[in-house]
Amino acid sequence: MIGNGTVRDTLFVNSFFTLATSVVTAAGGFLFWTLNARLFTAAQVGLAGALLGACSTISSGSLLGFNQTLVRRLHATSEPSRLLNTSLLLVAAAGTTVAAGYALIVPALVPDLGPIRSNLPIFVAFVLVSAMTGVNLATDAIFVGHQQTRLNFVIDGVLQNVVKLALPPMLGWLGAYGMFFSAGAATLAAVMASVLVLVRWFDYRPRLEIDRQLVRSEFAFSSGTYVAELLDLVPPLVMPLLIVRALGPESAAAYFIAFQMAGLLYTGVFAVSQSTFAEGCRQRESLRALTRRAGRLLMFAPVGGLVMAGAGPVVLGLVGPEYRAGGTGTLVVFSLGAAVVAPTALSTALLRLTGQIGAMVAMAVLRNGATCLLALLLLSRGLIWAALAWVAGEAVSLIVPAWALARRAVWKARS
């Protein structure tokens, strides 16, 4: 372990760079869309946004849980190249398959997306970018497993943003696809840089190989993790639809902006959670000691929540007076809810570390099911109830890890 001081604490360092990568990436995304709004028409921006949103969703669904498997197994395997080759190939294959299916089916329902099916170069580009976006997420997990998240900051936070911002002025003649190709080229550059770094500094040997024994041995962990991560996509997809139906599109816009602002706090929480999982996989440290270390880092969540609850309404006013009027209460609830999100995220990491995958899936089912059900029942009372439903779902789900981790502690004490 690298020292006990905060500056040299690997948990702190990797949490910091994970958070910094997310913040810089978000800032780069804001600049990217602001630039494109000046270069392209609103219709072109909307089409590009739909395509890139589809790529993002497909990439998340193509990970198959191998992002967590890489963090879990990388430090212990005697053949890291086989682990990396297997994971990256399966993620790429899943992304290619799902993206091809999307490109062949969805344009029949959304005619504006027709070129991704009828134009072969655009079809190939869409499938390639979707698959490589998933691969890039997997290489991010590799650097987390190596406890080198500073490399994610350099590659995703700096290189990817530079490429993405440099290309749109040169590809304006392609319209919406100029934006899409700009973001796609940035993703490809990040993947190539990641592979080169792995080859140069981590002795990675790329090959077309799949370790079937690894897939079989990790199936329960990776599939359970995958199911839990898919379940966590449900509220972000369902909540806007429920809000539009109950309160109208203006309320949905206010909810989206408030959630995005609170997401800055949640990103920090998830950074600590992921780094805690990586730290626990690599270091021989008691679960209690690791939990205390992570808990100390997570103290920023309630403090940050109080700050955002106070300052957030002012920022909402800068976005637009209608957002301040409609979203202030929602943002306050989301901000204060960071105090609940922190133990929930940490509990998920602890369940992964202790191999209690069934409990982790049950926790995701309870959390997301309660959130959607409460929103369905309470949204007619006002937008703030959407945020209350979300925070309540997080709080209720803590029942599962409390029981599972307590049961494990009792079992260990008796054995």
- Structure confidence by residue, pLDDT tens digits, 340-370: 999 999 999 999 999 999 999 999 999 999 9
Residue with tokens 């989301």: 334
Question: For residue 28, which of 215, 160, 152, 177 has the smallest C-alpha distance?
Answer: 160
Assess contact for 360 and 351: CB atoms under 8 A. yes
d(CA 130, CA 59): 6
Residue with tokens 């998240």: 149
- Higher pLDDT residue, 240 or 84? 84
Question: For residue 54, which of 156, 125, 160 has the smallest C-alpha distance?
Answer: 125
3-state percent helix, strand, coil for the chain, nearest multiple of 5? 85, 0, 15
| pLDDT value of position 3 | 38
Reported as a pLDDT band with limits 50, 70 and 90, residue 118 is very high
DSSP per-residue codes, 6-47: TTT-HHHHHHHHHHHHHHHHHHHHHHHHHHHHHHS-HHHHHH
Q: What is the mean pLDDT of the chain?
A: 90
Three-state SS string across 102-144, please? HHHHHHHCCHHHCHHHHCHHHHHHHHHHHHHHHHHHHHHHHHH
| pLDDT value of position 253 | 78
Q: Quote the percentage of the chain above a pLDDT of 90.
A: 65
Whether the per-residue pLDDT at 233 is higher than 70: the answer is: yes
Whether the per-residue pLDDT at 322 is higher than 70: the answer is: yes
Assess contact for 346 and 295: CB atoms under 8 A. yes
